[in-house]
Structure 1
Amino acid sequence: MKTIIVNEFIKNAFSQEKALILRKKIEECFSNDDKMVLDFSGITKFTTLFFNFSTGYIISAFGPDKYNEKISLINLSPLGQSTYESSYKNAVEKYKPNKEIEKKILEVIKNSEE
Protein backbone atom coordinates (compact mmCIF):
# COMPACT_ATOMS: atom_id res chain seq x y z
CA MET A 1 0.00 0.00 0.00
CA LYS A 2 1.27 3.43 -0.93
CA THR A 3 0.69 6.53 1.18
CA ILE A 4 0.49 9.79 -0.72
CA ILE A 5 1.21 12.72 1.59
CA VAL A 6 -0.69 15.43 -0.21
CA ASN A 7 0.97 18.43 1.44
CA GLU A 8 4.36 17.34 0.08
CA PHE A 9 3.33 18.64 -3.35
CA ILE A 10 0.36 20.97 -2.75
CA LYS A 11 -0.43 23.26 0.19
CA ASN A 12 -4.19 23.57 -0.32
CA ALA A 13 -6.99 21.66 -1.98
CA PHE A 14 -8.52 24.71 -3.52
CA SER A 15 -8.12 24.75 -7.31
CA GLN A 16 -8.38 22.71 -10.46
CA GLU A 17 -4.64 23.15 -10.97
CA LYS A 18 -3.90 21.55 -7.57
CA ALA A 19 -6.44 18.80 -8.26
CA LEU A 20 -4.69 17.86 -11.49
CA ILE A 21 -1.40 17.48 -9.62
CA LEU A 22 -3.01 15.06 -7.16
CA ARG A 23 -4.87 13.27 -9.93
CA LYS A 24 -1.61 12.54 -11.72
CA LYS A 25 -0.21 10.95 -8.55
CA ILE A 26 -3.38 8.86 -8.12
CA GLU A 27 -3.31 7.73 -11.76
CA GLU A 28 0.31 6.60 -11.37
CA CYS A 29 -0.71 4.35 -8.48
CA PHE A 30 -3.71 3.04 -10.41
CA SER A 31 -1.48 2.15 -13.33
CA ASN A 32 0.74 0.15 -10.95
CA ASP A 33 -2.37 -1.46 -9.46
CA ASP A 34 -1.38 -0.17 -6.02
CA LYS A 35 -3.79 0.52 -3.18
CA MET A 36 -3.27 3.95 -1.74
CA VAL A 37 -3.98 6.19 1.21
CA LEU A 38 -4.29 9.91 0.56
CA ASP A 39 -3.06 11.69 3.67
CA PHE A 40 -4.38 15.24 3.91
CA SER A 41 -2.45 16.23 7.06
CA GLY A 42 -1.76 19.96 7.10
CA ILE A 43 -4.27 20.82 4.36
CA THR A 44 -6.96 23.19 5.62
CA LYS A 45 -8.49 24.81 2.53
CA PHE A 46 -10.79 22.67 0.38
CA THR A 47 -13.24 23.17 -2.45
CA THR A 48 -15.62 20.78 -4.14
CA LEU A 49 -13.95 21.77 -7.42
CA PHE A 50 -10.69 20.29 -6.14
CA PHE A 51 -12.29 16.95 -5.30
CA ASN A 52 -14.34 16.91 -8.51
CA PHE A 53 -11.18 17.16 -10.62
CA SER A 54 -9.10 14.76 -8.53
CA THR A 55 -10.99 11.96 -6.81
CA GLY A 56 -14.27 12.60 -8.65
CA TYR A 57 -12.51 12.16 -11.97
CA ILE A 58 -11.06 8.84 -10.80
CA ILE A 59 -14.53 7.64 -9.77
CA SER A 60 -15.88 8.60 -13.19
CA ALA A 61 -13.02 6.91 -15.02
CA PHE A 62 -12.76 3.66 -13.05
CA GLY A 63 -16.10 3.38 -11.24
CA PRO A 64 -16.91 3.67 -7.55
CA ASP A 65 -16.22 0.00 -6.77
CA LYS A 66 -12.67 0.10 -8.11
CA TYR A 67 -12.13 3.50 -6.49
CA ASN A 68 -13.30 2.26 -3.07
CA GLU A 69 -11.15 -0.84 -3.41
CA LYS A 70 -8.02 1.20 -4.18
CA ILE A 71 -8.28 4.54 -2.35
CA SER A 72 -8.84 5.72 1.18
CA LEU A 73 -8.44 9.21 2.63
CA ILE A 74 -7.15 10.12 6.07
CA ASN A 75 -6.59 13.25 8.13
CA LEU A 76 -9.26 15.37 6.48
CA SER A 77 -10.49 18.31 8.54
CA PRO A 78 -14.27 18.46 9.12
CA LEU A 79 -14.53 20.93 6.21
CA GLY A 80 -12.41 18.67 4.02
CA GLN A 81 -14.50 15.62 4.93
CA SER A 82 -17.83 17.28 4.14
CA THR A 83 -16.47 18.78 0.91
CA TYR A 84 -15.07 15.40 -0.15
CA GLU A 85 -18.31 13.58 0.70
CA SER A 86 -20.33 16.01 -1.41
CA SER A 87 -18.04 15.52 -4.40
CA TYR A 88 -17.94 11.74 -3.87
CA LYS A 89 -21.74 11.44 -3.79
CA ASN A 90 -22.07 13.51 -6.96
CA ALA A 91 -19.46 11.44 -8.81
CA VAL A 92 -21.06 8.14 -7.76
CA GLU A 93 -24.51 9.38 -8.76
CA LYS A 94 -23.28 10.48 -12.18
CA TYR A 95 -21.52 7.14 -12.67
CA LYS A 96 -24.68 5.09 -12.11
CA PRO A 97 -25.99 3.86 -15.42
CA ASN A 98 -29.16 5.50 -16.54
CA LYS A 99 -31.66 2.64 -16.74
CA GLU A 100 -33.91 4.48 -19.20
CA ILE A 101 -31.06 5.12 -21.62
CA GLU A 102 -29.80 1.57 -21.17
CA LYS A 103 -33.30 0.26 -22.03
CA LYS A 104 -33.45 2.39 -25.20
CA ILE A 105 -30.00 1.20 -26.30
CA LEU A 106 -31.03 -2.43 -25.84
CA GLU A 107 -34.21 -1.79 -27.86
CA VAL A 108 -32.19 -0.29 -30.71
CA ILE A 109 -29.83 -3.25 -30.69
CA LYS A 110 -32.72 -5.71 -30.64
CA ASN A 111 -34.53 -3.91 -33.45
CA SER A 112 -31.41 -3.80 -35.62
CA GLU A 113 -31.11 -7.58 -35.37
CA GLU A 114 -34.63 -8.21 -36.67
Structure 2
Amino acid sequence: MSAITVVTEPAPAPSRLWEISYDGQCPTFHHSSHRAATALVDIVTRRQMKGWPDRNITVRLLDEYDESVWEATGDVAKALSASGWPGPGADRETTIGILEAVLVTDWSGEENAA
Protein backbone atom coordinates (compact mmCIF):
# COMPACT_ATOMS: atom_id res chain seq x y z
CA MET A 1 0.00 0.00 0.00
CA SER A 2 1.33 3.46 -0.88
CA ALA A 3 1.44 6.38 1.51
CA ILE A 4 -0.55 9.54 0.83
CA THR A 5 1.09 12.86 1.55
CA VAL A 6 -1.19 15.77 2.44
CA VAL A 7 0.17 19.16 1.47
CA THR A 8 -0.98 21.92 3.79
CA GLU A 9 0.87 24.79 2.10
CA PRO A 10 -0.92 26.88 -0.52
CA ALA A 11 0.03 26.53 -4.15
CA PRO A 12 2.64 29.04 -5.27
CA ALA A 13 1.20 32.28 -6.60
CA PRO A 14 1.95 33.29 -10.19
CA SER A 15 5.15 35.30 -10.31
CA ARG A 16 3.69 37.90 -12.66
CA LEU A 17 0.25 39.50 -12.91
CA TRP A 18 -1.05 42.31 -15.06
CA GLU A 19 -2.98 44.94 -13.11
CA ILE A 20 -5.44 47.11 -15.03
CA SER A 21 -7.04 50.01 -13.19
CA TYR A 22 -8.27 53.56 -13.48
CA ASP A 23 -5.35 55.37 -11.86
CA GLY A 24 -5.09 52.70 -9.16
CA GLN A 25 -8.82 52.39 -8.46
CA CYS A 26 -10.95 49.28 -9.10
CA PRO A 27 -8.07 47.06 -10.27
CA THR A 28 -8.50 43.81 -12.14
CA PHE A 29 -5.73 41.23 -12.38
CA HIS A 30 -4.82 38.99 -15.31
CA HIS A 31 -2.24 36.21 -15.40
CA SER A 32 -1.39 36.39 -19.09
CA SER A 33 -0.71 39.06 -21.66
CA HIS A 34 -3.54 37.68 -23.83
CA ARG A 35 -6.14 37.98 -21.07
CA ALA A 36 -4.93 41.46 -20.17
CA ALA A 37 -5.04 42.57 -23.82
CA THR A 38 -8.57 41.18 -24.22
CA ALA A 39 -9.69 42.92 -21.02
CA LEU A 40 -8.26 46.24 -22.22
CA VAL A 41 -10.13 46.01 -25.52
CA ASP A 42 -13.35 45.09 -23.71
CA ILE A 43 -13.02 47.90 -21.14
CA VAL A 44 -12.56 50.55 -23.82
CA THR A 45 -15.44 49.09 -25.86
CA ARG A 46 -17.87 49.02 -22.91
CA ARG A 47 -17.07 52.60 -21.98
CA GLN A 48 -17.71 53.74 -25.55
CA MET A 49 -20.95 51.73 -25.88
CA LYS A 50 -22.28 53.25 -22.65
CA GLY A 51 -21.33 56.75 -23.78
CA TRP A 52 -18.96 57.22 -20.85
CA PRO A 53 -16.02 59.59 -21.21
CA ASP A 54 -12.52 58.25 -21.75
CA ARG A 55 -10.48 57.61 -18.59
CA ASN A 56 -6.81 57.01 -18.09
CA ILE A 57 -6.22 53.29 -17.79
CA THR A 58 -3.19 52.29 -15.76
CA VAL A 59 -1.48 49.03 -16.75
CA ARG A 60 1.28 47.55 -14.61
CA LEU A 61 3.11 44.25 -14.47
CA LEU A 62 3.37 43.08 -10.86
CA ASP A 63 5.77 40.61 -9.31
CA GLU A 64 4.95 38.00 -6.66
CA TYR A 65 5.12 40.71 -3.96
CA ASP A 66 2.65 42.98 -5.79
CA GLU A 67 5.46 45.38 -6.62
CA SER A 68 5.38 47.07 -9.99
CA VAL A 69 7.97 45.59 -12.34
CA TRP A 70 6.92 47.57 -15.38
CA GLU A 71 4.56 50.46 -16.05
CA ALA A 72 2.95 49.77 -19.44
CA THR A 73 0.36 52.58 -19.43
CA GLY A 74 2.04 54.71 -22.11
CA ASP A 75 2.73 51.74 -24.37
CA VAL A 76 -0.88 50.58 -24.12
CA ALA A 77 -2.18 54.06 -24.94
CA LYS A 78 0.08 54.20 -28.01
CA ALA A 79 -1.03 50.73 -29.14
CA LEU A 80 -4.73 51.58 -28.78
CA SER A 81 -4.21 54.82 -30.66
CA ALA A 82 -2.24 53.11 -33.44
CA SER A 83 -4.90 50.42 -33.88
CA GLY A 84 -7.73 52.97 -33.93
CA TRP A 85 -9.70 50.92 -31.41
CA PRO A 86 -12.66 51.26 -30.84
CA GLY A 87 -13.16 53.37 -33.93
CA PRO A 88 -14.77 52.34 -37.19
CA GLY A 89 -12.75 49.95 -39.28
CA ALA A 90 -10.61 48.76 -36.36
CA ASP A 91 -10.46 44.98 -35.98
CA ARG A 92 -10.88 43.56 -32.46
CA GLU A 93 -8.59 40.56 -32.92
CA THR A 94 -5.89 42.67 -34.55
CA THR A 95 -6.05 45.14 -31.67
CA ILE A 96 -5.80 42.31 -29.12
CA GLY A 97 -2.78 40.96 -31.01
CA ILE A 98 -1.07 44.37 -30.98
CA LEU A 99 -1.71 44.80 -27.26
CA GLU A 100 -0.56 41.26 -26.54
CA ALA A 101 2.71 42.00 -28.33
CA VAL A 102 3.15 45.06 -26.10
CA LEU A 103 2.22 43.24 -22.90
CA VAL A 104 4.70 40.48 -22.31
CA THR A 105 4.31 37.84 -19.65
CA ASP A 106 8.00 37.40 -18.85
CA TRP A 107 9.37 40.92 -18.91
CA SER A 108 12.95 40.96 -17.72
CA GLY A 109 14.08 44.40 -18.84
CA GLU A 110 16.04 42.90 -21.72
CA GLU A 111 14.59 41.41 -24.88
CA ASN A 112 10.88 40.84 -24.28
CA ALA A 113 9.43 37.39 -24.93
CA ALA A 114 5.71 36.83 -25.34
TM-score grouping bracket, smaller chain normalisation:
0.3 to 0.5
More helix by share: 1
Q: Give the structure-1-normalised TM-score.
A: 0.32
More strand by share: 2
